[in-house]
A = this chain, B = another copy of it.
Amino acid sequence: MKKNNSYLLDLIKSQKDNFSLDQSFYTNKSIFEMDLKTFFFNQWVFVGHISRIKNKGDYFLFSIGEESIIIIRENEDKINAFYNVCRHRGSHICLEEEGRVRKFVCPYHAWNYDLSGKLLKARMMDDNFKPKNWSLKKCNCIVFEGLIFINLSENASDFQNFINPIEDFIKLHGLGKAKIAARKIYPTKGNWKLTLDNFHECYHCQPSHPEYCHVHSKDYIQAYGAGSNTGPESKEFNKKLETWNKKVKKMGYLTGEFSEKKFSKFFRSAERTPFSNGKLSETKSGKPASILMGDFNEFDGGYTTIGPSPFNSIIMTNDFATLFTFIPKSPTETEVELMWLVNERAVEGIDYDINEITWMWDETTKADKRIIENNQKGVLSSKYEPGPLSKMEIGLDKLKKWYLKHLELKITK
């Protein structure tokens, strides 16, 4: 083991249960670089939805670290992800954030690739040059229920294995028959773990998120605000949940939840929970915001929350979905991307109003951006030391343990 790694291993072992992490996990450049390789580059992460690239040749770019990935529709059935690097001298090939092409033409020397990444034409090469050896480099890419997942690992874990326990929760909502109603990026000056710490506890919801607290009930927030078993049990909410489960089973829809039972590469969760007070959707009024999606024929008063990995979250009512992607940018910068999906048949202005759909999570994410940035500033102080966690920060502590264990495995293997 390298000397640095031995130092890091000691640091990992010295982290205390139910306390936040030491400063260097939130600030250190080499830990950040190890983080990228160990976590983001090893997970299946969705980075978009098929409705963003409906036609053959439609593409968009996804950036992480120094990598630019082209996500492109090859044909009606196939979406590919390529590294945006010409095999000749390395130029970026696609220059716009999104667009449509018939084939890839490198803007430097006009090397041509088809939409499957195959090199079609390169002028003036030696006679022994074999175009078939110079295809664009592919990135693992799988579309599941309209969500475009990529995995930057050379040894990506099996997708079916990954998606299996959360599959039914996603399928219920028919995201494959959805379209993007809105998309927004929140650049946040905070380490990605401070950004996720924030997302994995609802201890701050009451002081910081009036919009969230308007929509959700106090007992839900306490017990389920950051997912099942992330806060103290609420008997009141358990009763509501039990009643609702029975009702929904009768209606024929999925209920229940999934959480990781043992340590693995994955950090997934999923659950279905009821709204309170007769609310039907995650809106200011509690009234529906759009037409029903997926399997739903009527509103079941419930809410589905799915965490496929630490870098994504899916939050779905019966009539729309809010999708989160958390993209680490530097030791102290993270980009948070939100997409709101509605039924592909819904008509803007008639079936839904974008402001109504985006209101809660837009306000909440703007507040979180501010909160996380102030958190980062304080964590940079020499006087910062890990503090004790509350009973409502169990989710954050779980994530932290999973993170530390993986980092330990990475440096000891």
Contacts and interface: CB of A to CB of B under 8 A. Distances in A.
Interface of A: 18, 20, 66-68, 83-93, 95, 105, 107-110, 122-126, 129, 134, 137, 197, 203-204, 206-208, 232, 371, 374-375, 377-384, 387-388, 390-392
Nearest to A383: B83
14 contacts: A20-B88, A66-B381, A66-B382, A67-B382, A85-B381, A85-B383, A87-B387, A88-B387, A91-B375, A92-B375, A92-B378, A105-B207, A110-B206, A110-B207
A123 B204 CA distance: 10
Contact of A383 (B67, B204, B380): B67
Q: Is the interface of A mostly helix, strand, loop or mixed?
A: loop
A382 B124 CA distance: 27
Contact of A375 (B67, B90, B377, B379): B90
- Count of chain copies: 3
B108 A388 contact: no
B387 A86 contact: yes
Contact of A85 (B90, B91, B384): B384
A52 B133 CA distance: 53
Contacts of A374: 91-92, 95, 107-108
Nearest to A381: B85
A105 B204 CA distance: 12
Given A67-B383, A68-B377, 9 more contacts: A85-B379, A85-B381, A91-B374, A95-B374, A107-B371, A107-B374, A108-B207, A108-B371, A109-B207
A290 B223 CA distance: 65
Given A378-B92, A384-B90, A390 B123 contact: yes
Nearest to A110: B207
Contacts of A377: 68, 91-92
A192 to B, nearest CB: 15
Contacts of A381: 66-68, 83-85, 90
Contacts of A129: 388
Task: Pick the 6 closest A-B CB pairs, nearest first.
Answer: A110-B207, A66-B380, A83-B383, A90-B378, A124-B390, A85-B378
Contact of A390 (B83, B109, B388, B392): B109
Contacts of A93: 378
Contacts of A378: 68, 84-86, 90-93
Nearest to A137: B383
